[in-house]
Amino acid sequence: AETGATLKVGSALQVPQALNRLETYARMATMDISIPVQPSVTPTTPLAAGGLIGAVVKRQPVGVVACISPYNFPLVNMAGKIGPALAMGNTVVMKPAPQDPLAIVVLMELIDEVGFPPGVVNCIVGSKAEVGEALVRSNDVDMISFTGSTAVGSAIFEAGGFTMKRLLLELGGKGACLVLDDADLGKAVEALASVWGFHSGQICTAPTRAIVHRSKYDALVAGLAAAAPHLTIGPPESPDTVVGPVISGPHRIRVESYIQSGADAGAEVVVDGRRPTHLDRGYYVGPTLIAGCDNQMKVVREEIFGPVIVVVPFDDDDEGIAIANDTEFGLYNYVFSEDTGRAFEVAQQLESGNVGINTAQRNHETPFGGWKMSGVGRDGGVFGLHAYTEMQSIVWPG
């Protein structure tokens, strides 16, 4: 509730998904993730006699892991951090975002209630930057797992270097949705509209940049403009609400400033969601669609983290790929085409840790993380177990 998530998002994604992640990693706790290595025929050296040398790569706990979660999905994100960290034998310190810490405080109470040994799972809260900085700089913390903005992630990367922290950083995104000339527009519109209807666009994987072949451009803009009025904006506790409030007043002002910057740069605000008039309480931004954009506009280049879609045209696949890659981010991109072979070829040319073809859905067993300024490291599924361990190579004469 304190996040402003709608009833649909909260009931479908926060608690059930968090439970699923914890249960999944509890089952994985006894999994052997050692990596066998082919025996090597090694010649005699001044070090030792030669022969057949066997080897295995073991995974050992990192130690103390500080898990710092974002405000948009506090519970499910934290579960995805502490689940694999604990399964691999680490201890953890949970630090929720200052905007909405209560879910993690309750989680800590439940962890104590079920009988975790004291000190295995810990929780600290605080709105001051010094709280997070203390974790990042502490010699007693071996790893930082952080989800949040690129600016904060960069600061963690720099500060953590003084103590050689192991880092898992899942940072900002500016997802490109490439709509090719043979795309199914219905599928593309549905995926893009998730920017509006899924937690008011406050999600790093959202396809916020619609990069559209010129032959489909007008039809896609019209389709999105027609879809926007059908997304009910209202109180998050209402079962009919699709678009709820953003996290805070300052964040609403930030989102609105990006919309204005697009208009000032000459783009067309086709659907303007600023300050819905039927709501007098809450920090609302409605679905917003900005067309006539080019890739140099601030509204196109920077992460907005709100229900705003920008539309940029292209004339051939190479140009579309170049526009998609012309960004500092590389977390999640999308390709829409009825020719899946062509879409697959395009996907492999995108500078992105994840690519969805004809869907905005995810496979949570795949490694998740970003290229470029979108982060360092991967988690998800069994890859999450590897993320919270150190490699140890053991060799012996065979």
Structure token digits, residue 94: 């949970």
Q: Which residue numbers are catalytic?
A: 170, 204
| Separation of CA 134 from chain center | 24
DSSP 321-355: HHHHHSSSEESEEEEE-S-HHHHHHHHTTS--SEE
What are the pLDDT tens digits along the chain (398 aa)?
788 999 988 888 889 999 999 999 999 999 999 999 999 999 999 999 999 999 999 999 999 999 999 999 999 999 999 999 999 999 999 999 999 999 999 999 999 999 999 999 999 999 999 999 999 999 999 999 999 999 999 999 999 999 999 999 999 999 999 999 999 999 999 999 998 988 999 999 999 999 999 999 999 999 999 999 999 999 999 999 999 999 999 999 999 999 999 999 999 999 999 999 899 899 999 999 999 999 999 999 999 999 999 999 999 999 999 999 999 999 999 999 999 999 999 999 999 999 999 999 999 999 999 999 999 999 999 999 999 999 999 999 97
Structure token digits, residue 235: 């109180």
Residue range(s) occupied by CATH 3.40.605.10 in the chain = 7-171+374-397
Single-letter amino acid code for the residue at 149: S
Identify the three-state secondary structure at position 219. Answer: helix
Residue range(s) occupied by CATH 3.40.309.10 in the chain = 176-370
Q: What is the CATH superfamily name and number for domain 7-171+374-397?
A: Aldehyde Dehydrogenase; Chain A, domain 1 (3.40.605.10)
Q: Helix 317-325 to helix 340-347 angle, to the nearest 10 degrees? A: 40
In contact, 147 and 369? CB cutoff 8 Å: no
Q: Which fold has domain 176-370?
A: Aldehyde Dehydrogenase; Chain A, domain 2 (3.40.309)
